Amino acid sequence: MIIVMKPNAPQSSIDFIVKTITEKGLQTHISKGEEVTIIGVVGDKSRLSQQNLEIAPDVEKIVPVTETYKLANKKFHPEPSIIKAGNTEIGPNNLTIMAGPCAVESEAQLMKIAYAVKAAGANILRGGAYKPRTSPYAFQGLEEEGLRYMLNAKAETGLTTICEVTSLDAINAAVKYVDMIQIGARNMQNFYLLKEAGKSGLPVLLKRGFAATIDEWLNAAEYIIAEGNPNVVLCERGIRTFETATRNTLDLSAVPVMKEKTHLPIIVDPSHATGVRAYVAPLAKAAVAAGADGLMIEVHDNPAKALSDGPQSLTFEQFDTLTKELRPYAQLSGRIF
């Protein structure tokens, strides 16, 4: 932590800061410049959490130099983590493809899609049973019934399954039916839900919030891991910007940034990021080229009739073409697919 003093801060203000810090058992190093004085702080910063030195006299600003997340931090865990979900491993050696409908609509539909995505090479079946929708009048999901269909689809196809959860009730149900749970973008800072996901014991796919910085996203992961559940996979799905040509702006830079900051795997969801079917394939390839550990892709047997997010869903044929095209990209990044 570095404390930058205002220009011409009197010695008394500097002394006050130093005294406050040393009383808590930390050390200070002072650099006096012509314009400003800076005070480097060494020791356990958590002891200063109630000091609010930002508003001490003549303090200009405080610059943190260490991250608040520890368990998710690559500095303390340099090797990339491999997260197991069902019979799938997500990490540096594989390209994991999660595919399926935005929303589970019926058992027949889910089964049909499950067989199709499996045939095309997907490892994990996605399907929403609890749907967070902007309007209360839009289809909200089949809830536990949808989860049951997921279990049946897994039994039939052997695919690993993942489902979004939006409440403790949903987590409690998900534990009984699926292999992995997902925290959606809108709930990325629903800390209550993060803690419960941590306690669930299931591996968690943590989507980035629309407006979440990389740092906040990793702190959200830290909430899950701090509950004793280290099985977190990150998912970039677009951030909110001024551009309206796509639903959100897919931030592919997040892939190499995360590879520097954390040991957790990161996958990319080009379907939700763009909201447009035609952009899914080029951005899926780009994600793999950028180093992503996997993809989440929406696939539907009849996108024109999908109850949710039809316009961004691939048909079986489009998905099959995409996975074929992805294979050489997976190979170039040294991944099994």
Looking only at residues 21 through 50 of this chain, which bind its own copies when binding is defined by CB under 8 A?
Answer: 27-36, 38, 40-43, 46, 49-50
Select the span of 110-118, 142-150, 173-181, 243-251 touching its own copies (CB under 8 A). Answer: 243-251
Q: Does 108 contact its own copies by CB under 8 A?
A: no
Select the span of 89-97, 111-119, 148-156, 222-230 touching its own copies (CB under 8 A). Answer: 222-230
String of contacts with its own copies for each residue 127-156, x by CB under 8 A: ---x-xxxxxxxxx----------------
What is the total count of residues that contact its own copies (CB under 8 A)? 109
**For residues 257-316, which are near its own copies according to CB under 8 A?**
257, 260-261, 273-274, 277-279, 282-283, 285-291, 303-307, 310-311
Q: Does 69 contact its own copies by CB under 8 A?
A: yes
Q: Does 318 contact its own copies by CB under 8 A?
A: no
Closest to its own copies by CB, 53 or 151: 53
Which one of residues 58, 82, 143, 189 is an interface residue with its own copies (CB under 8 A)? 189
Closest to its own copies by CB, 62 or 151: 62
- The nearest distance, CB 235 to its own copies, in angstroms, is 16
CB 226 within 8 A of CB 219: no
- The nearest distance, CB 156 to its own copies, in angstroms, is 26
Closest to its own copies by CB, 89 or 105: 105
